């Protein structure tokens, strides 16, 4: 069994200057923004230390090993070998999404998103000139699925693109190969484009099979783009590096036609770190991270069942973000406000993920068991206080 990765102590984490550790006062436990509380993979640390030592801090080169490194990584992890010739880099996944949407959607045309979904999706569609078309996920009782009937109806009404979250944030849903293939065929039938955000793909638990959208067949290759990055799985968001991936000649031509500045926005440190992350020597670290996150998602389930039984939580199959329904506790449409104010725990507000998020919070469990436990106990104290008030 792979050894879990080591979570840093609270004292060590307080030395960080990133958003997670500077947004709130020290009495607040931050379990909101998607940053993890672990040391970097050793190969990444070595690559960045070497770059600093030799002053390798210039512009990103026109030829880099990044695309080939990702292809080898995808082959090992997903049994998929995208052609490096169909890739271009940029600063981050959000930028890649906007740059692609700008070229496949005319101003005012509609783009499907599947709420509850990563809040910037709504803004990215607008930034690209599109209009959001909401087709919420279907909750089946055992999980969430794409509403293919709803997507079909929207595409038939003239929607031009689908912005897919694969795996899905915040639910941690790993879309099935069958549903992705059906989505591709629907888009192909209606002449629409699918842009698949696959930033959480390396974080799929071993029991759940991740399917890259572009791997599902000829229809997906004709209609699709993927945008990928090492940033979420390896905690590199501040270093700015992502890849836009296309498979068909037409889609590759679109990527080649992007201005050179789109690629030059790639961070040099981000590229060096991503190449190290995608290298075989980082696989053991990633496997250890998945083991750690598996333990934490189960610990969270136990903590909620014991101390906050009114909470409804389904363990995610991917990522380190928990989507928790607190409606039964009666803390309003946005319970994160009270939790921050009274429990001193910072969570993401459910309503920012769409109207389906009312009564929900998103909690980041990519941390130590001690911090996770303390956070849940603080939140549970609010319920205990409510009980005292009612007596």
Q: What whole-number percentage of the chain has pLDDT above 90?
A: 96
142 pLDDT band (50/70/90 cuts)? confident
What CA–CA distance (Å, rounded) separates 161 from 355? 21
**Which is more confidently placed, 387 or 73?**
73
Q: Where in the chain is the domain with CATH 3.40.640.10?
A: 43-280
Topology at the third CATH level for domain 10-40+283-390: 3.90.1150
Q: Is the pLDDT of residue 388 over 80?
A: no
End-to-end CA distance of the chain: give it in Å, rounded: 49
Q: Is the pLDDT of residue 330 over 80?
A: yes
Strands 224-228 and 193-197: parallel
**Residue 299 structure tokens:** 């610990």
Quick: pLDDT tens for 75-132.
Answer: 999 999 999 999 999 999 999 999 999 999 999 999 999 999 999 999 999 999 999 9
Residues 167 and 321: beta-carbon distance below 8 Å? no
**Quick one: residue 344, left, alpha or beta (phi over 0 = left, psi -120 to 50 = alpha)?**
left
What CA–CA distance (Å, rounded) separates 241 from 238? 9
Mean pLDDT, the chain, rounded, equals 96
What CA–CA distance (Å, rounded) separates 326 from 343? 15
pLDDT of residue 1: 57
Q: Is the pLDDT of residue 284 over 90?
A: yes
Q: Which residue has the tokens 């997903």?
A: 78
Q: Is the pLDDT of residue 390 over 50?
A: no
Q: What whole-number percentage of the chain has pLDDT above 70?
A: 99
Topology at the third CATH level for domain 43-280: 3.40.640
What CA–CA distance (Å, rounded) separates 214 from 226? 7
Residues 112 and 135: beta-carbon distance below 8 Å? yes
348 pLDDT band (50/70/90 cuts)? very high
What is the 3-state secondary structure of the chain?
CCCCCCECCHHHHCCCCCHHHHCCCCCCEECCCCCCCECCCHHHHHHHHHHHHHCCCCCCCCCCCHHHHHHHHHHHHHCCCCCHHHEEEECCHHHHHHHHHHHHCCCCCEEEECCCCCCHHHHHHHHCCCEEEECCCEECCCCEECCHHHHHHHHHCCCCEEEEECCCCCCCCCCCHHHHHHHHHHHHHHCCEEEEECCCHHHECCCCCCCCHHHHCHHHHHHEEEEECCHHHHCCHHHCCEEEEECCHHHHHHHHCCCHHHHHCCCHHHHHHHHHHHCHHHHHHHHHHHHHHHHHHHHHHHHHHHHCCCCEECCCCECCEEEEECHHHCCCCCHHHHHHHHHCEECEEHHHHCHHHCCEEEEECCCCHHHHHHHHHHHHHHHHHHHHHHC
Q: Where in the chain is the domain with CATH 3.90.1150.10?
A: 10-40+283-390
Contacts for 150-157 with beta carbons within 8 Å, 24 or more apart?
Answer: 151/112, 151/183, 151/186, 152/186, 154/110, 154/112, 155/112, 155/186, 155/187, 155/189, 155/190, 155/192, 156/190
């Amino acid at each position: 069994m792979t050894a879990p990765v080591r979570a840093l102590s609270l004292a060590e984490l307080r030395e960080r200057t990133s958003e997670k550790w500077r947004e709130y006062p020290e009495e607040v436990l931050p379990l909101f923004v998607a940053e993890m509380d672990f040391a970097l993979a050793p190969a990444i640390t070595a690559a960045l230390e070497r770059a600093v030592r030799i002053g390798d801090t210039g512009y990103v080169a026109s030829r880099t090993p990044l695309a080939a490194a990702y292809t080898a990584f995808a082959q090992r992890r997903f049994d998929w070998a995208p052609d490096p010739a169909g890739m271009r880099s940029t600063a981050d996944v959000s930028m890649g999404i906007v740059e692609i949407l700008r070229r496949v959607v005319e101003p005012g045309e509609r783009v499907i998103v599947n709420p509850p979904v990563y809040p910037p999706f709504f803004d990215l569609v607008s930034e690209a000139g599109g209009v959001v078309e909401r087709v919420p996920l279907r909750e089946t009782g055992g999980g969430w699925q794409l509403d293919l009937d709803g997507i079909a109806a929207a595409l038939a009404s003239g929607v031009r693109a689908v912005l897919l979250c694969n795996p899905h944030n915040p639910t941690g849903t790993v879309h099935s190969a069958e549903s992705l293939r059906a989505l591709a065929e629907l888009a192909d039938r209606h002449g629409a484009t699918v842009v698949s955000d696959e930033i959480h793909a390396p974080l799929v638990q071993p029991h759940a099979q991740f399917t890259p959208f572009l791997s599902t067949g000829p229809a997906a290759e004709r209609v699709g783009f993927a945008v990928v990055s090492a940033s979420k799985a390896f905690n590199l968001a501040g270093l700015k590096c992502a890849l836009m991936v296309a498979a068909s000649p037409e889609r590759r031509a679109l990527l080649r036609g992007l201005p050179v500045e789109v690629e030059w926005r790639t961070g040099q440190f981000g590229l060096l770190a991503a190449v190290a992350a995608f290298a075989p020597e980082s696989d053991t670290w990633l496997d250890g991270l998945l083991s750690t996150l598996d333990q934490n998602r189960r610990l969270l389930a136990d903590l909620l069942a014991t101390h906050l039984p009114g909470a409804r939580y389904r363990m995610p199959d991917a990522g380190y973000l928990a989507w928790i329904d607190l409606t039964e506790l009666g803390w309003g449409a946005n319970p994160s406000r009270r939790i921050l104010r009274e429990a001193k725990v910072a969570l993401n507000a459910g309503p920012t993920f769409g109207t389906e998020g009312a009564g929900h919070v998103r909690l980041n469990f990519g941390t130590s068991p001690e911090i996770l436990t303390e956070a849940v106990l603080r939140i549970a104290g609010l319920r205990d206080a409510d009980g005292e008030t009612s007596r």
